[in-house]
Amino acid sequence: MDRLIYTGARIFDGTALHDNRALVIEDGAVSAIVPASAAPDGPRVALAGGVIAPGFVDLQVNGGGGIMLDGTAGVAEIATICEAHARLGATSILPTLITDTPAATRSVLAAGVASVGRVPGFLGLHLEGPHLDIRRNGAHDASLIRPMMDEDLEILLEAKAGLPALFVTVAPAAVTLQQIEALERAGIFISLGHADCTLSQARAAHTAGARGVTHLFNAMSQFTSREPGLVGAALSLPFHVGLIADGVHVHAESIRLALAAKREGEVYLVSDAMAVAGSEATCFTLGGRMIERKDRALRLADGTLAGADLSLPQAVKFMIEVVGIAPERALAMASRIPAQIVGVQAGTLSQGGPADFVLLSDHWDLQQVWRAGQPLQAKSSTE
C-alpha cells in the first residue's frame, strides 16, 4: 500500500475547516482526515502552515496554456487546457467553447466525448453560445449568434450521453421553453447568460428547467426599479450563479449584495480564463480579433472585456480579503459547490475520492497542487 500522511496545515474538506488534523492518502485516493495525534504509521509530509483544500472545480474555462478551445481542438488540446489549469489550482474543469460555427460545435463535442477517461481533470464541456442574445453579445462574435434549431437540440442530447457533464449557456430569446425542458430532462445543466431578458422571461425559463445564470452581472439585462431584468431574476429566484471575482468584472460591493440575496450553495466562482492562463503571453487572438492582457484584464481594442485574467485561487483570495467572507464559504464556492451543481465527483476530500488537492498559504496564495496524490509544479498566478 502506498501511503503518505500530510500534517502541519489546516484542512478544508469541502465543507468545514479543521485544525490539528492529518490528511491520509493511500494509492492516489483520500483514505481519511484524522486528528494529527491519531494518524496511522507511514511516511509524513510536515507542512509549515497554510491550508489544504480540495482541488478547485472551474465550470467556465475558455482556454489555457496558450490554447483556446475552438473547432480545431482535439483530445491533445483539451489535455493541454486541463493541465494548465491543474497547475493553477483547478484540478477539475469544464473546457468552454464560446459562440462558434455549427461545425466547430460538433467538432468540440466529439473531442469532448473522446476525452472522457483519457484526460485527467476533464469533467465535460460548457457551451457558452451560440444560442445567445445579440443585444448582449459582449466579446462573442455577433455574426455567429443564432437561435437553437431542432438539429442543434439533437446534437446536444446525443453529446450528453457521452459526457459526464454538459453545461449550456443560452438566452431566452434564442431558445424555446420546450427546448429547455428537453435539455433539462437529458441531464444538461442550462444556464442563462448573454441575455437581455425580462424577469418574467427568466422566470419562465427557470420553470422550464434552466437552473443557472452565467457570470452574474456581466452581459445581461441589469436591475432597475421597474424591470429587474436577468440580474434581478438571478438574485430573487433559486438560480445557481457564477461569479468572476477579480475586482474587474464585478465590484466587491455588488458581490456582497449578491451573497446577501442568495442562499448558501447557490453562488460559485469561475475563472472565465482564456488562452493566456498559465502562460506569460501578453495578447492572443479571438476570432481574428486581438485581445490584450493588461492591468489584470483581457480586453478587445474597444475596451470590451474578453474573459478574465484570473485563477480560482486568486478568486478565493479576493473573496476572503476584499469581499470579506469566511474562508470556508469562499473555498466551498471554488470546490464542492460547483461540483455539486453539475453532479460530478470532485471538490471534496472524502474517503475513497481522488487525492486532488491544493496547498494555500496563510495569505491564500497557491503553493502546491496534487493530482491523484502526485505533486504538480504549481503556478501561483495566471502569469
Positions annotated as catalytic residues are: 272
Please provide residue 291's backbone torsions phi and psi, each rounded to the nearest 5 degrees. Answer: -115, 125
User: In this structure, how many other beta carbons lie within 10 angstroms of the beta carbon of residue 227?
Assistant: 13
* Cβ atoms of residues 283 and 248 within 8 Å: no
Contact 173, 195 (CB under 8 A): yes
Q: Bridge partners of 22?
A: 34
- Contact between residue 230 and residue 197 where contact means Cβ atoms under 8 Å apart: yes
Instruction: Count each helix (H run) and each strand (E run) in the chain, helices first.
Output: 10, 24
Cell numbers representing residue 83 in the block? 493541465
Written as one string, the DSSP assignment of 173-217 is GGS-HHHHHHHHHTTPEEEE-SB---HHHHHHHHHHT--EESSTT
Query: What's the rounded Cα separation, in Å, for the pair 180 and 190?
Result: 7
